[in-house]
């Protein structure tokens, strides 16, 4: 088995989970009275994440010549299912926003050592998508559709949302060595951890703070 292909297939499974999450966010969106811009961005995310599954399988096939079947989405735990039902759509939206904001920085770093033009293009397109996906939450939070009470609830839940995202992002399948395969778009664990920290410190926490969500309960 080609490890690079195996890892890209594992990423396809992860993209499948994100797609399922995006479908759920889109379905619950009406409860949040979102702007049309947010509705449009969420629809785009559903389409993009379905495509990302295929893109990851295509990349895997470039390395071992086997297209393979669409993998089952990696199972995820719904970390907010014990929150009050009325709050869950908001919490899922921002759980996603945190993950997509980290993804944007990480994919940018993933491209640093990639030389093959076709793979650079894959990562460039993927980065552009992630920036749009992260904007769903930020655009909603910047609007007047989020009440002061909801901003307060969000601040109370932020440590848990962030912790869930960090746990997922810091996890590597066994086949992903510490040094990664940087030329194949699979950065080292250290580069990944640095990208995560940078995203949290420079995008996620300032974003919440700017729009009136308390970040002082966050411990990393
Ligand atoms: Fe994706
Ligand atoms: Fe995404």
> Do residues 95 and 22 make contact, with C-beta atoms less than 8 angstroms apart?
no
Instruction: In whole angstroms, give the CA distance from residue 74 to residue 201.
Output: 28
Looking at the domain that runs over 3-74+84-210, which CATH code has it been given?
Answer: 1.20.1260
How far is the centre of ligand 1, averaged over its atoms, from the C-alpha of 49 (Å)? 5
Q: How far is the CA of 151 from the centre of ligand 2 (A)?
A: 24
Helix (H) or strand (E) holding 142: helix 117-142
User: What crossing angle do the helices spanning 3-28 and 36-64 adopt, rounded to 10°?
Assistant: 160
| Domain segments of the chain as ranges | 3-74+84-210
Chain segment 6-24, per-residue pLDDT in tens: 999 999 999 999 999 999 9
Q: What is the pLDDT of residues 96-117, one digit of tens each?
A: 999 999 999 999 999 999 999 9
The answer to whether the CB of 19 falls within 8 A of the CB of 46 is yes
143: which DSSP letter?
Answer: S
Global pTM reads 0.96
Give, to the nearest 10 degrees, the angle between helix 3-28 and helix 88-110. Answer: 150
CA–CA separation, 133 and 44 (whole Å): 8
Task: Identify the weakest region by mean pLDDT among 85-89, 120-124, 185-189, 216-220.
Answer: 216-220
d(CA 206, CA 69): 41
Kindly report the backbone phi and psi dihedral angles of residue 154, in degrees, each rounded to the nearest multiple of 5, phi listed first.
Answer: -60, -40
| pLDDT tens-place string over residues 36-86 | 999 999 999 999 999 999 999 999 999 999 988 888 877 666 778 889 999
Q: How far is the CA of 80 from the centre of ligand 2 (A)?
A: 20
Distance 45 CA to ligand 2 centre (A): 6
Mean pLDDT, rounded, for 151-169: 95
When mean pLDDT is compared across 62-71, 106-115, 154-163, 208-217, the lowest value belongs to 62-71
Which residues are found with C-beta within 5 Å of the ion, ligand 1? 15, 49, 52
């Amino acid at each position: 088995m080609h490890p690079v292909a195996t890892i890209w297939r594992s990423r396809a499974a992860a993209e499948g989970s994100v797609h399922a999450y995006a479908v759920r966010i889109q379905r619950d969106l009406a409860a949040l009275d979102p702007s049309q811009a947010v509705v449009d961005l969420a629809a785009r995310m559903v389409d993009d994440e379905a495509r990302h599954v295929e893109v990851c399988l295509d990349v895997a096939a470039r390395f071992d010549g086997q297209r393979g079947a669409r993998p089952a989405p990696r199972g995820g735990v719904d970390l907010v299912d014990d929150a009050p039902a009325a709050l869950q759509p908001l919490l899922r939206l921002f759980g996603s926003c945190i993950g997509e904001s980290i993804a944007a920085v990480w994919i940018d770093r993933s491209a640093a050592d990639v030389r093959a033009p076709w793979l650079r293009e894959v990562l460039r397109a993927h980065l552009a998508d992630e920036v749009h996906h992260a904007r769903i939450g930020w655009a909603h939070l910047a609007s007047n559709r989020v009440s002061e009470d909801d901003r307060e609830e969000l601040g109370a839940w932020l440590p848990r949302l962030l912790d869930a995202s960090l746990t997922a992002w810091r996890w590597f399948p066994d086949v992903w060595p510490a040094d990664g395969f940087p030329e194949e778009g699979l950065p080292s664990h250290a580069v990944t951890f640095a990208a995560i920290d940078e995203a949290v410190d420079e995008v996620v926490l300032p974003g919440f703070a700017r729009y009136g969500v308390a970040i002082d309960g966050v411990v990393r």
